[in-house]
Amino acid sequence: MSHILVTGGAGYIGSHTSRHLLAAGYEIVVLDNLYSGHRWAVPEEAIFVEGNAGSAKTVNQIFNTYDIAAIVHFAGHIVVPESVENPLKYYENNCTVTQTLATVAAENGIGHMIFSSSAAVYGEPKELPVTEATVTSPISPYGRTKLISEWMLEDLSNANESFNYVALRYFNVAGAALDGTVGQSTPEATHLIKVACELATGQREQISLFGTDYPTQDGSCIRDYIHIEDLAAAHVSALRYLQSGGKSNVFNCGYGQGFSVKEVIDCVAKISDKSLNVNVTGRRAGDPAELTANNEKILATLDWKPQHNDIELICQTALDWERHLVAKRKVA
């Protein structure tokens, strides 16, 4: 049986998507160097290879060992402030790795790739919610590396009629598996909902609110939060789209509605019944004031419909996961 290669499959989004791929009947090979992922997050049914997706030798060995039908590419760095401070690290890991992976895939006749992109490619959009046709103008090195990678795949697809890809532009991904078995465990994570839930469970002393002077209703940034289970399901739908003859395409992955930083913090405080210590500070580099998705294209093209569009559910599953992690550490 052919397999799906999942790069970065030990990470937050990769591990959830691996579960969804297996549940959909696919056999998968997970390739991860465990830089920010965890071996325990990889499903037992998956074949695991520890290594770098940017190593042509390693990827070729996988292709020579397994019949790979498609690639779902997650491996990459994702912290916007870090990308501002250390841009070359992001160009090397995000762009160069994608180039190497695409090169080896083309050489081996692999015709389908799902690419983990980001709404950061839009920068400070002049229209909201953003559509896939909105002008891309990233304001951070992270966003630029995602857009450059998209361009590479687009150019490869144009030059090679047997290669097609789907780039999924994630908005703010949050929450944990509904069954509580896996969630976000990235060391020193910067995602708002995870950080707020860490504070609510006593793992942090305070949370920083970066900027209260944005042109929004309460002065804090507004984001479109998508539950991890819905996002993972979108990858399976995108893969099926390509395998059924779909052409290269780009899709926003969001719900089409936004919540401010203050609203999210208030939501976590409510469901945890905790008073959260918030440190108001200045704006953070690379943060647009508002970013919400127009998701009409993905709804019309892929066999995908959100099942968990509920900010309280997103926060509750994230909170439950943090409580699980705390309990696990106490036992250890």
Domain boundaries defined on the chain: 3-174+225-253, 192-223+256-331
Q: From CA 134, how far away is CA 154, in angstroms rounded?
A: 17
Across 148-165, average pLDDT: 97
The Cα-based distances of 29 to 9, 59, 69, 264 in angstroms read 9, 11, 11, 36
* 187 pLDDT more than 80: no
% pLDDT > 70, the chain: 100
User: Which two structure tokens, joined as six digits, stand for 120?
Assistant: 């950061």
Q: From CA 58, how far away is CA 176, in angstroms rounded?
A: 31
Task: Specify the 3-state DSSP secondary structure of 76.
Answer: coil
DSSP state of 259: E
What tens digit of pLDDT does each residue of 54-110 get?
999 999 999 999 999 999 999 999 988 899 999 999 999 999 999 999 999 999 999
What tens digit of pLDDT does each residue of 100-155 get?
999 999 999 999 999 999 999 999 898 999 999 999 999 999 999 999 999 999 99
At the topology level, CATH places domain 3-174+225-253 in Rossmann fold (3.40.50)
User: Which two structure tokens, joined as six digits, stand for 277?
Assistant: 């210590």
Residue 332 has a pLDDT of 65
Do residues 22 and 45 touch, judged by C-beta distance below 8 A? Answer: yes
Residues 6+ apart with CB under 8 A from 1: 27, 67
Q: How many helices (H) and strands (E) does the chain have?
A: 11, 14
- Which of 3-7, 123-127, 139-143, 166-170 has the lowest average pLDDT? 123-127
* CATH 3.90.25.10 corresponds to the domain 192-223+256-331: yes
User: Which two structure tokens, joined as six digits, stand for 140?
Assistant: 């951070």
Q: Report, as residue numbers or ranges, the catalytic residues.
A: 142
